[in-house]
Structure 1
Amino acid sequence: MSDLGDPHGYDFGTGAAPSTMSEYDRESYQYSTDDDFSDDDTRDGDHSASDFEAESDDGNDDVPPMRVSPPLASVRARRTSVSAESMAPTAHDVHVEKVVIPKSDEQRERIQAAVETNFLFRHLDDEQYADVIDAMAEVPVAEGETIIQQGGVGDYFYIVETGTLDVFVTRAGDDEEPTKVADYGPGGSFGELALMYNAPRAATVTATSDCVLWALDRITFRRILLDHTARKRRMYETFLEEVPLLSSLEPYERHKIADALESVTFNDGDAVVRQGDPGDKFYLIESGEADVVKVDDHGDEHHMKPLHKGCYFGELALLSDKPRVASIIARGKLRCACMGKKAFNRLLGPVTAIMARHTQEYERYPGEEELSVTNDEGSTAAGDEAEGEAEEAPAPEDE
């Protein structure tokens, strides 16, 4: 197999796997990799009970021999092993410079179009997308060259810029020639499982013409996610500290909430919540602005001070299912972090027990005649209309 080389200077390994959790990816868990290891390369855990007993007999006689149940492999075929590098935040405190490989606007658009429907990239925000696209390296491939080999382990995910490739699979225990199962052209992608863990490739991919591929390695991808996740966690925790209803929580409890918040995006004019709907979620605004609109008993609309980054609303939904007293409408693109009552209860137990620490904080809110979203929803974001000021969590400094 031709060695493509690593666009970032690492050993390129054997490449990648077929696209988007296809049946060939799932079958990778069925393939045995025993032939890939010699007797000297036995993996951890590949021992029988007699091996353990023999080892213990060679040691201290005072220690009884270990009693080990027969390995699962004795009753069924062994599953393929997978592994992944530790990427704990504490292990990567040193700032790592972003990898930026120049690309034209057309190339960036094609790369984004290829990955935006992929399950691994679907929930990335705009900044993460930009970092992923910046880090992709161009890889030229000659006709007839094998990019990945079935059963091999590689670190890269690929997107096809130009050219065509064929995908072949050899079934386990099948001595016949590999069977062509798919092909890729411009815009195609494969090998996304390499971004999650080391696993044997489920197929062989060979170029049927000269190709140009874009490649992204696992370490770079995980560093991008780790960096963004850590920064979002710090931002969420800062916001949560300013929510009166949650101010009685211990730091570790706010940390758990910050990790469990889900990011959702709304387009211009979308209703985040509608007046009269039951309240079941709490929201923090990550970016963008939103209008607060309340319709009174006479059908007249009242507009309050717009919400922006750091504002929050609907936190009393964690206490009750009271209807929303106002509508929150996205003004332009809006990104919010949200959490429902069920998730909150699952993490921290019954909400009422936790809120009992700080219930007096909410006794001071004005009546509904003030047209304040804080009234029934507990949203300090819109604030008291009489005062014309909104409470908000301070946005952390950009890093």
Structure 2
Amino acid sequence: MEPFQFGYATDEYTQLLTELHEVYCKDQPEDVLQYCANFFSRKLEEQRYMYLRQPQNHFLVTTTTTSIDGELEDNFSTEPLFMPAPNYNNRGRRTSVSAESMAPAGNKFVKKVIPKTESEMERIRNSVGNNFLFKNLDEEHHQDVVNAMIEMEVEQGKDIIEQGAVGDYFYVVDSGTFDCFITKDGQTNKVTSYETGGSFGELGLMYNAPRAATITATSDAKVWALDRVTFRTILMENTSLKRKMYESFLAEVPLLKSLESYERHKIADALESVYFDDKAQIMKQGDIGKQFYLIESGTAVFYKTDENGNQQEVNQFGRGSYFGGK
């Protein structure tokens, strides 16, 4: 893909259009205007959310009902996101909470800790650990997700969501099975199934998208649910802190000092923290390099083994140094 060229533009403008160009080329949407509108709507929502997260406006996570009627989000729709205008006449049904008013200003975000057994926590960790939105969370935020999840029981035959509804939860299946159906042009088709370890609902929590499917329990089931406010607070707080920390760190790396700030933004978003215990081996002499490492903290010691099998220390690298793939 050819790089997107700009004339005079701010770093933020360049970064936004570069990102839009990349995702557009990847998705190839049919409705270009709607796709672009969705992109900028999401960016605006995220910006407003982060503004509200400033010290003068804190979030309070309030206890929500564990009713499961209409409370599931899908993660399988490949169509461009449609963001309908708010229906202020629809007062009688439960609706999603917008990013602008997720909690009263002046209140402090309080972490939820729902008691669970160690085996339950481990099952949740294994499920959310494979989800692309959670895999880059640091250990503290990952544990916050596990702690905040609420147990819900679903009877066989119950629709945990209905297509077109709004939802407030991200779900992890602890036991039981679910079938997923999409109705289009009057035809209803099964598109996928979920079982123990499966998860769904994360994209709608980010983008306030309507449900794109109906999901029905095909057996008595138990799920763990994470509410919208906790989800967004943890995820976006982690993303913001991670970006600021990495951008500050990358500015100190000699190799990257010549990059423009928006280019460092891109690298910061792609980085993933990996922790190694003292004396742990990161790579072995003779292995094919597949990863590029930047040392964020600590010291890496390099050894070289000669043809006689003798190992000798040849260097030590610290914060800001790099090694790995070529």
TM-score by length of 1: 0.49
* Contact residue 83 and residue 199 of structure 1 kept, 8 A: no
CA 303–111 in structure 1, closer or farther in 2 if over 3 Å, else same: same
Shift in alpha-carbon separation, 1:281–1:135, aligned structure 2, 3 A: same
Q: Distance in 1 between matches of 2:307 and 2:189?
A: 69
Among 16, 40, 43, the alignment partner of 2:72 is: 16
1:26 counterpart SS class: coil
Q: Which runs of 5+ in 1 are unaligned?
A: 1-5, 42-81, 315-326, 329-337, 341-399
Who is 1:212 aligned against? 222
Identity of aligned residues (%): 38
1:285 aligns with 2:296: yes
Matches within 5 A, 1:227-266: 227-236=237-246, 239=249, 256=265, 259-260=268-269, 262-265=271-274
Q: How does 1:342-381 map to 2 (within 5 A)?
A: none
Superposition deviation, residue 188 in structure 1: 2.1
- Which of the numbers 130, 135, 139 marks the counterpart of 2:143? 130
- 1:195-229 deviation per Cα after TM superposition (whole angstroms, max 9, x unaligned): 32111211111223332110112321221123333
State how far apart, in whole Å, the 2-side matches of 1:83 and 1:8 are.
Answer: 14
Match of 1:85 among 99, 117, 133: 99
**Aligned residues of 1:159 and 1:214 also touching (Cα < 8 A):** yes
* Among candidates 74, 80, 104, match of residue 117 of structure 2: 104
Give 2:99's aligned amino acid.
E
Following TM superposition, by how much is the alpha carbon of 1:128 offset from its aligned partner in structure 2, in angstroms?
Answer: 2.7
Q: Distance in 1 between matches of 2:100 and 2:271?
A: 24
Counterpart for residue 78 of structure 1: none
Following TM superposition, by how much is the alpha carbon of 1:151 offset from its aligned partner in structure 2, in angstroms? 0.8
Give the CA deviation at 1:132.
Answer: 1.3
Counting matched residue pairs gives 254
AA of the residue aligned to 2:156: E
Preserved contact between residue 180 and residue 213 of structure 2 (Cα < 8 Å) = yes
Matches within 5 A, 1:1-399: 8-9=63-64, 14-18=70-74, 21-22=75-76, 25-27=77-79, 29=81, 85=99, 95-171=108-184, 173-174=185-186, 178-236=188-246, 239=249, 256=265, 259-260=268-269, 262-265=271-274, 268-271=280-283, 283-286=294-297, 290-293=300-303, 301-303=311-313, 311-314=319-322
Instruction: Give the TM-score taking structure 2 as reference length.
Output: 0.59
Pair 1:96–1:253, CA change in 2 (3 A): same
From the CA coordinates, give the structure whose radius of gyration is larger. 1
Judged with a 3 Å threshold, the aligned counterparts in structure 2 of structure 1 residues 183 and 284 are, in CA distance, closer, same or farther, namely same
Q: State the alpha-carbon separation in 2 of the partners of residues 138 and 231 from structure 1.
A: 29
Q: Give structure 2 stretches of 5+ with no counterpart.
A: 1-60, 91-95
In 2, the alpha carbon distance for the partners of 1:122 and 1:235 equals 18
8 Å contact from structure 1 (residues 139, 212) kept in 2? yes
Alignment CA distance shift 1:157-1:98 (3 Å): same
RMSD: 4.8
Q: Is the 8 A contact 1:15 1:155 kept in 2?
A: yes
